[in-house]
Amino acid sequence: MAKMINRRGFMAGSMATAAGIVGGQHLLAGAREEKPDSAPPKREPLMAEVLRYKKIDAHAHVGLGEATPAEIIDIADRLGIQYLMISKPMAPGSAGLVSEFKACNEVVLSAVKEFPNRFRGMLTLNPTHAREAMDEIKRCTDLGMVGMKLYNHVKINDPLFYPIIEKFIDLKMIILMHSPIGKARIKYNAREPKNISIPEDFVDIARRYPEAMFQFAHIGGGIDWEDACKALKDSPNVYVDVSGSNNEGNMIDFAMRYIGEDRLLFGCDNGFYQGVGHVIAANLTEVQRKKLFFENYNNVLKKSGRHVD
């Protein structure tokens, strides 16, 4: 027959058990003191690590918000960003008139003139205005611009873009196209226009023009970045920039797995501190981090002879 135990006995037994556990912990602690674990490797100070890498920001802007070109350069200096590929997109939902895209390009040209050793210009246009768009390409590239940044007025795979893409193949320059916000495996944000370029549009146009270079904008910009990376996996002439303000912890690691170390581009989209920080925090090798921060975009610029080193 089981021995009955009263409350006092139960408490006494519990206290003895607890004492034994505590005593055991002291013994284990003593054992650890006798054989200490090896100290974790010492990591260099964060900002020293940040400044150790050369950087080209593949997706930057001027003329948006209140930051002046000088203030942007000041931030870039703090983060060791040597060069910024700048553009000024037309206003969301605008008509995209010739006067508007020319005015945007003038803002960029002015900033490049102010900081010629730091900024590189990316022109913008609306292919609906075919002749004026081609004239603007010539004007801006003659003045030193190194690529093109497009927004959401016309899909990237619309036939209106064909002659412009063919011109950029001749120029050996990259075409950066805005990508949408939303989707989340269900649907895009309601504010997005119907002619926004989605990952499948990039796949389509990249297949049509394998000689062209396309840049898919800001996987951290609010799109379903997992879906985008999977869609673009087998499009070798589509580069992917990792800029944006909606960064999840494993975004770059995931992109590295699907896009690869030679097609990912560092960019901030003017979110400079987190743009640098999430590359530093990603699980990358030194070779991969150097490619992402600098070498991949510089290799793009080398095709047109506009490289920075």
The DSSP result for 207-238, as a single string, is HH-TTSEEEE--TTSSB-HHHHHHHHTT-TTE
- Please tell me the least confidently modeled range out of 93-107, 236-250, 288-302: 236-250
Phi (first) and psi of residue 141, to 5 degrees = -70, -35
Report the interhelical angle of 272-281 vs 251-259 (nearest 10°): 70
Confidence of residue 28 (pLDDT cuts 50, 70, 90): very low
Q: What angle do CA 170, 204, 298 make, to 5 degrees?
A: 45
Confidence of residue 198 (pLDDT cuts 50, 70, 90): confident
Judge whether residue 27 has pLDDT over 90.
Answer: no
* Strands 83-87 vs 56-61: parallel, antiparallel or unpaired: parallel
pLDDT tens for 153-191 read 899 999 999 999 999 999 999 999 988 765 544 456 666
Q: What angle do CA 44, 45, 46 make, to 5 degrees?
A: 110
Tokens 């940044």 -> residue: 149
| pTM of the predicted structure, to 2 decimals | 0.83
CA dist., res. 307 & res. 295, Å (int):
10
Confidence of residue 12 (pLDDT cuts 50, 70, 90): very low
- SS3 state of residue 148: strand
CA dist., res. 101 & res. 94, Å (int):
10
CB 176 within 8 A of CB 147: yes
pLDDT at 153: 86
